[in-house]
Amino acid sequence: MQLWERLTGAGGRGRLHAWAGNGFTTTPWSEVVADARGAAATLRRAGVRPGRHVAAILDNSPEAVRGLLGAWMAGGAVASLPVPTRGMDRQEYAGHLETLVANLDAPVLLADEKLAPLLPESLHRRLAVRSWQSLAGDGRIDETPPGLDDLAFVQYSSGSTSVPKGCALTTRAIGRQLEMILAMAGGVPGEETVASWLPLSHDMGMFGCLLYAWAHDFGLVLSTPERFMMSPRTWFRDMAEYGATMTAGTSTALHLAARGQGSGALAAPLRLRVCVVGAERVEWEALRRTVAAFGPQGLREEALMPAYGLAEATLAVTACPHDEAPRFLDVDGNRLADGEVVACAADDPAATRVVSTGRPCDGVEVAVAEPGRLSEIRIASPSLASGYFADPERTAARFVDGRLRTGDLGFLHDGELYVVGRSDDLLQVGGRNVYAREIESTIDALDPVRKGCAVIVDVVEDGRSELVLLVELKSRSTDYPAFADEAAAIAMTKAGVPLAECVFLEKGTLPKTPSGKIQRFRCRTLLASDALRPLARVAVR
C-alpha cells in the first residue's frame, strides 16, 4: 500500500492526541484526514499544485499536522525549513530562510500564526505567508499527491555542523523508511501508541513518530519541545497516562527526564516496549540513570533501543534488536583518537564506553572507510535521499556511487555499529588527533555542569592550535579557577593534551539545534567574533 493510501486510510483505531494550549486535544485520524482535505482546497487556491513546493516551518500543533497532509494532497512537495535554533539571532535566521526560499518554486510559506509576523519583509514580498491556522476550510479537490518517485519532502538540517542543507526525499523513500521502522520496532499495526515531544522539523519527530504512527494507524501522543524543556518529566508522565508502547529521544533528553523524575510515582505503570535513543551519541550513563529512575514505574532495560540514523537516510540506519538489553564496549580513548579500536578495562583512566547502535535495518548496508579502525561511516539504503536539494556540489561530495558518506565516525564489531561522533569532533592539536567528545562527555558528567552544555573548540593562537572549553554551569557561585583545573586534568587524562582556556557562559548561550546538539562550528565563530559575552574566562597553563 502506498504512503498516501496509508495516511488517508488511517482511522480505525488510532487517535491523535495533540498538545494545544494547556492540554491535549484528541482526534481520530479519519477526522484529521477530513480536515486536511479542506486545507488542501485552501492551498490549491493559493497556487499549490503538482510540481510546486510548499515552504513550511513546522511546529507540533494539530493545525500543522493537518496542513502537512493537505499540502501533499494539493500536489506540493513540502520543504521543511529549519526552525530558529538557540543562540541564533533574528537576522541570521532570516538570512537562512531567504537563501533557502530563493531556491524553491513555492507560492506559499506556512508557519505558526505567532511566527509569521516575525519573518523578514523580503519573504512576504517573495511569496504568500500563511498561518497553519488559516488553512481550515470545507472545500474538496481532486487529490494529486506526489508520485512514487517524485520529490515529496525536503528535510532541511538544523545546521549542527554547517549551514542548512536539504535532503530530497521521494514518496518511495519515505514509505520504505516507515516499513523499516515497523520491522525494527516489532510494531503491530493498530495496536501501538507512540508518544513524542520531538519537533516535527526534525527527522526523528517527523518520520520516526508522526508519520510512523499515522501510516500504521497507531495512537500518537504529540507534545511539544517547549513543554518538554519546561518540564522534562512530562515525557514519561504522558506515556504513563496514555499507555504508550513506543517513544524516541536523545541521551540528553533521557538524562533530563530521569533527573526530573525524583522519587515521585507516575500516575500509572509504564507499558513502554521500545524507546529509540538516537540523534546524538548514545551515552551509557544516560541509559543507566533512566532505568534507575523509571524501573520502579515499569521501565525495562530491554525497552531501550540505541539506534543510528540521519536525515540523508530519511531516518533509521541501524538499531539494536527490540527486547534485548543495550550493549557497549570499553575502549582506550587516547588510541581511539588515532583511529585504533583497542579494548581496555572499565576502570582504566583512558577508558571510554561506546554503546552499540545495533545492526543495519532491513535492506541497509553499512561499511566504514577503514575496516577495523575508527573511520567514516558509509551507507546504502532503500530510503536514501536522492541528494541535497538545489545543491549539486555538496550532493557530489557526499552521495557517491549510490552510497552516502555520512561524515560520522564509527567502527564495526561483531556486525554491530558503534558510533563515536562527527568528523567535526576530531580536532588536531600539537600534531596529534584529539577526539573532543571524549573530553566533553566526562566534563558534562561533572555535577556543576548543565547537562549537554560543554563543548571543546580549537582556536589558533600565535600560529598554534589550542583547545578552549565553553561551558554553562548550574550556579554562578562555582569556583571558576578550581573547575578549570579539574577540566584541564580531564583533558590531559582523556586525550593527553592541555586546555588553554575555560570560558564560562550564561545559561542558554551555547548555540544548539532543536534536538539539542551543540553547533560546534557556530561556537567557533561566536568565540572568534567576541560575541559570547562570558561570565568569566580562566586561562589554564
Q: Where are the alpha helices (DSSP H) in 408-505?
A: 436-444, 480-495
Longest dimension (CA), the chain: 70
CA dist 121 → 47, 53, 126 (Å): 21, 20, 9
Give the number of other CB atoms < 10 A from CB of residue 35.
Answer: 21
Which of 472, 466, 458 lies closest to 520 in space, CA to CA? Answer: 458
Give the pLDDT of residue 161: 46
To which residue does cell 555542523 refer? 161
**Cα–Cα distance, 382 to 326 (Å, whole number):** 26
The dihedral through the CA atoms of 317, 318, 323, 329 has a sign that is negative
**Cα–Cα distance, 171 to 150 (Å, whole number):** 6
**Cα–Cα distance, 41 to 47 (Å, whole number):** 10
- Could you write out the three-class secondary structure of 397-425? HHEECCEEEEEEEEEEECCEEEEEEEHHH
Angle between helices 251-261 and 234-242 (to 10 degrees): 80
C-alpha cell belonging to residue 253: 533528553
Residue 60, exposed/middle/buried by CB under 10 A (0-12, 13-18, 19+)? buried
**Cα–Cα distance, 353 to 344 (Å, whole number):** 10
Tell me which amino acid residue 227 is: R
**Cα–Cα distance, 245 to 271 (Å, whole number):** 6
Q: For each successive 10 residues of the chain (541 residues), what is the average pLDDT? A: 84 89 94 96 96 95 97 97 73 82 93 82 89 90 95 81 81 97 89 95 95 96 93 94 96 86 78 92 90 94 96 96 93 82 88 93 95 93 96 94 92 94 72 76 88 84 78 89 90 81 90 74 77 86 66
Cβ-contact 37, 19 below 8 angstroms: no
191 secondary structure, DSSP code: S
- Could you write out the three-class secondary structure of 245-303? CEEEECHHHHHHHHHHHCCCCCCCCCCCCEEEECCCCCCHHHHHHHHHHHHHHCCCHHH
Each residue's pLDDT tens digit, 57-78: 999 999 999 999 999 999 999 9
C-alpha cell belonging to residue 358: 545495533
**Cα–Cα distance, 397 to 523 (Å, whole number):** 25
| Residues with Cβ within 8 Å of residue 72, at least 6 apart in sequence | 4, 78, 145, 146, 152
- Could you write out the three-class secondary structure of 103-124? CCCCCEEEECCCCHHHCCHHHH
Give the pLDDT of residue 413: 95
207 secondary structure, DSSP code: I
Which of 359, 355, 365 lies closest to 319 in space, CA to CA? Answer: 359
User: What is the three-class DSSP state of 534?
Assistant: coil
> What is the rounded radius of gyration, in angstroms, for the C-alpha atoms of the chain?
23
541 half-sphere exposure, CB direction, 13 A CA radius: 2
What's the chain's length in residues? 541
Instruction: Describe the strand order of the beta sheet including 501-505 as a list of residue ranges.
Output: 449-461, 464-473, 501-505, 536-539
Q: Which fold has domain 3-230?
A: Rossmann fold (3.40.50)
User: What is the three-class DSSP state of 40?
Assistant: helix
Residue ranges, CATH 3.30.300.30, the chain: 430-539
CATH 1.10.579.10: does it fit domain 430-539? no
Beta partners for residue 536, in sequence order:
504
Report DSSP letters for 150-182, one per residue: SEEEEEE---SSSS--EEEEEHHHHHHHHHHHH
**Cα–Cα distance, 539 to 541 (Å, whole number):** 6
Give the pLDDT of residue 430: 63
Residue 114, exposed/middle/buried by CB under 10 A (0-12, 13-18, 19+)? exposed
Tell me which amino acid residue 340 is: E
Tell me which amino acid residue 283 is: E
pTM: 0.86
**Cα–Cα distance, 369 to 193 (Å, whole number):** 39
- Cα 262–chain centre separation: 26
Report DSSP letters for 72-98, one per residue: HHTTPEEEEPPPPPBT--HHHHHHHHH
Cβ-contact 27, 61 below 8 angstroms: no
Give the pLDDT of residue 526: 80
Give the pLDDT of residue 160: 45
Residue ranges, CATH 3.40.50.12780, the chain: 3-230
Residue 340, exposed/middle/buried by CB under 10 A (0-12, 13-18, 19+)? middle
**Cα–Cα distance, 502 to 500 (Å, whole number):** 7
Cβ-contact 220, 211 below 8 angstroms: no
